[in-house]
Chain A
């Protein structure tokens, strides 16, 4: 699978052919769905809180749900 970084060796327990009917390569998702399953690496400047940045992202992308994975504690 291209674009997936493997650290360990891959051990094969069983095999199965790909089914074209469902599922899609993560890099080929239609944009609307891509956004839903997307992550963004944002350079968070001091000032706005992560919560505010997340709110802006939701507004810009017109999505209902977004979260953030932690920021520096205030210093």
Chain B
């Protein structure tokens, strides 16, 4: 879940303003709200209600009809679109609220051919069980590796895999390859030579350090995905 919950999001929403204002003014104010903004979570939220900074990556104005504004918004995880609409309304002077919301992207997941429904899932499952045809089900159920598409990967030796599955941290000696965009504190994905996701962890070193160091813990494992025993136990 860490890989998904903290991932950037995209939404399409309808903001309904409580007064009339020109398109230009709406554009100007939306530009002000792009970049870093302050937000305090609303009463009905599951997080601590402290003011925090969030980044709005973009606000695309898709359509304006009377007092309704259709927008596409790209933002950091944990951004409240409801609050954003409310605050834009205040700055415009009219007041406003979020009328409708749909999340269109969550990390690597978007509204593409992978987006499906329970009905399609059930049908695809039945087709596999009753007719032995896997195709549909394989289009709907994606390998867990999909989740790490945007996360830097470190490939490890076969001999290190089962140790990681047992909760060991990743030492320098176990590493075969790594990506160049890793910093201290980065979330990284530990994978096998065949591309299977073993675990997620936090890198203790930068890419250059990992490449050059001969010993020591390089990644602290946070979440093991692969089942123990998938690779043979090759450690004492």
Which A residues are within 8 Å of any B CB, using their own CB?
1, 3-16, 18-19, 22-27, 29, 31, 34-35, 37-43, 53, 56-57, 60-61, 67, 69-70, 72-75
- Assuming the contacts A22-B231, A41-B114, A75-B98, asked whether A11 and B143 have C-beta atoms less than 8 A apart, the reply is no
CB neighbours of A24 from chain B (8 A)? 194, 196
Q: Given the complex of chains A and B, what is the CA–CA distance between A40 and B144 in angstroms?
A: 9
Q: Say whether A23 contacts B82, CB under 8 Å.
A: no
CB neighbours of B147 from chain A (8 A)? 39
B151 shortest CB reach to chain A, Å: 9
Binds A, one of B17-25, B49-57, B87-95, B133-141: B133-141
CB neighbours of A37 from chain B (8 A)? 143-144, 225
- Assuming the contacts A7-B150, A41-B115, asked whether A18 and B176 have C-beta atoms less than 8 A apart, the reply is no
In the complex, besides A8-B179, A22-B232, A39-B142, 14 extra interface pairs with C-beta distance below 8 angstroms are A8-B207, A10-B178, A11-B180, A11-B207, A15-B176, A26-B145, A26-B197, A31-B134, A41-B115, A42-B121, A56-B118, A61-B125, A69-B4, A75-B101
Q: Say whether B144 contacts A23, CB under 8 Å.
A: no
- Please give me the residue from chain A that is nearest to B129 by CB atom: A62
Q: Say whether A43 contacts B116, CB under 8 Å.
A: yes
CB neighbours of B142 from chain A (8 A)? 38-41
